Structure 1
Amino acid sequence: MKLKSIFIVSLILLVIGFIEFNTRGFHQNKCGQHMKRTKCAIPEISPEAVKAEIIANADLTSHERKDLTNDDAKGNVLKTFVSKDTARLVNDQYDGNEVFKVTYSTKNEEILGDIVVYVDAETFKVIGRGIRE
């Protein structure tokens, strides 16, 4: 009886540990790969992120809107840091700033890449664009 109780408790602890491992520090990305949350960009859904998306959306040109894959111009918003090496900034003073990166999927993604708009996280001004080939 005692051996059976130890086995059941061990099994329960093993199951709880497995569940914690899969839900706490790891998650599946779009491709089904497990990634640590600290190394994976998790989309922002905060009110600030929504505001940044609205501002970025208003900054899109009519030509860019025609190139989007979706008609509602829905962008993927991530909070990150911008670098002048990966973006065309309106001023180099923004290099290293915390920003909202709003990414729009395009029809010419393979050729030119996605449209990326950087919105400053403090002032909510558009401070740059992603570099498209």
Structure 2
Amino acid sequence: MFTHAFLGSNDVERSRKFYDAVMGALGYANVVPPEAGNLVYPGPGCTFIVGKPLDGQGATVGNGGTLGFAAKSDEEVTAWYEAGLANGGTCDGQPGPRERAPNNSVGAYLRDPDGNKICAFHMQH
């Protein structure tokens, strides 16, 4: 359904530390060098990108927006969450079952260093 998702950052190097850790916990790696000026994490059917906004303005947080990542297990959700906290993220919801998700799927929420809200879920079908 999507080709890519892009989140703005005001400090790509600070974001690199955070996203290399959280995306690494899910098995994804950045594929561009630091001089590219952004981060690119290809996945099956969609690519996740972090960088400075192209209009030259500061990156801002969207109210009500959340970008979710699939995890392969409950343990991977926890590893993702812990990697984020250890690398500049802040808690926006500890790992655990979520009532609104199918079959109480396990998820966790973080704010990245720029304040963007992201989550990781192990969906129980």
- Tell me the TM-score range normalised by the shorter chain: under 0.3
TM-score normalised over the length of structure 2: 0.25
Pick the structure with more helix per residue. 1
- Between the two structures, name the one with larger relative contact order (CA 8 Å, sep ≥ 6): 2
Q: Rg bigger for which structure?
A: 1
Please give the TM-score of this superposition, normalised by the length of structure 1.
0.24
